[in-house]
């Protein structure tokens, strides 16, 4: 376990090109309504929708929609997800509303660019940092000295166990030798 965050399955989606006409190629949990409808009209707002689904899932612990591929496709097109605040009332209300806005069915109602998303999330983070007086994300630098001390302590403890086990084995061996003779 290397404690490194890894990003996988970007939910790449498309219609046409290398697939049969009208065939949808997408990760069902994260597809935007445009992809689910197979309209072929895609832009950055579809990616923002998919990011919003992922952000919702990270914030709620559950995706906004579940079910079979067909049920997910219909949900992305027709259903509104439960309000993020109703699923996670501990979440900052402004952040929850912004994530919900990424999941708007109409692409024109979503944030229109990654720059908009970045700026809005940075403003929320700044507001939360200022109000709490601390960083939301704390990256702890590794304490190499403590790691070395821990390793030395583990080695010393292991050495004592070896000495104790070895001593017990010798005593048992001597007892067996005395009994046999």
- pLDDT tens for each residue of the chain, 181 residues long: 566 655 555 544 444 445 555 555 567 888 889 888 887 667 889 889 998 998 899 888 899 999 998 999 999 999 999 999 999 998 899 999 999 999 999 999 999 999 999 999 999 988 888 765 554 444 445 555 666 666 666 666 666 666 676 667 667 766 766 776 6
Instruction: Give the pLDDT score at 27.
Output: 77
Instruction: Give the pLDDT score at 110.
Output: 94
Q: Rounded to an integer, what distance in angstroms lies between the CA atom of residue 147 and that of residue 52?
A: 39
pTM of the model: 0.62
Which pairs from 75-79 meet CB under 8 Å and 24+ separation? 76/31, 76/32, 76/33, 76/35, 76/36, 77/33, 77/36, 77/37, 77/105
């Amino acid at each position: 376990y290397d404690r490194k965050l890894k990003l996988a399955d970007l939910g790449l989606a498309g219609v046409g090109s290398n697939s049969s006409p009208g065939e949808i190629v997408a990760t069902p949990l994260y597809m935007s309504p445009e992809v689910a409808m197979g309209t072929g009209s895609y832009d950055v707002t579809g990616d923002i929708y998919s990011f919003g689904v992922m952000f919702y899932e990270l914030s709620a612990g559950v995706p906004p929609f579940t079910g079979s591929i067909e049920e997910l496709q219909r949900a992305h097109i027709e259903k509104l997800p439960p309000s993020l605040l109703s699923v996670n009332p501990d979440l900052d209300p402004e952040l929850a509303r912004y994530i919900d806005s990424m999941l708007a069915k109409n692409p024109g109602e979503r944030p229109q660019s990654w720059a908009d998303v970045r700026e809005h999330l940075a403003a929320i983070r700044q507001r939360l940092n200022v109000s709490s007086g601390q960083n939301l994300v704390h990256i702890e630098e590794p304490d190499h000295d403590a790691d070395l001390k821990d390793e030395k302590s583990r080695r010393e403890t292991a050495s004592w166990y070896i000495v104790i086990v070895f001593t017990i084995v010798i005593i048992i061996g001597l007892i067996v030798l005395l009994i046999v003779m």
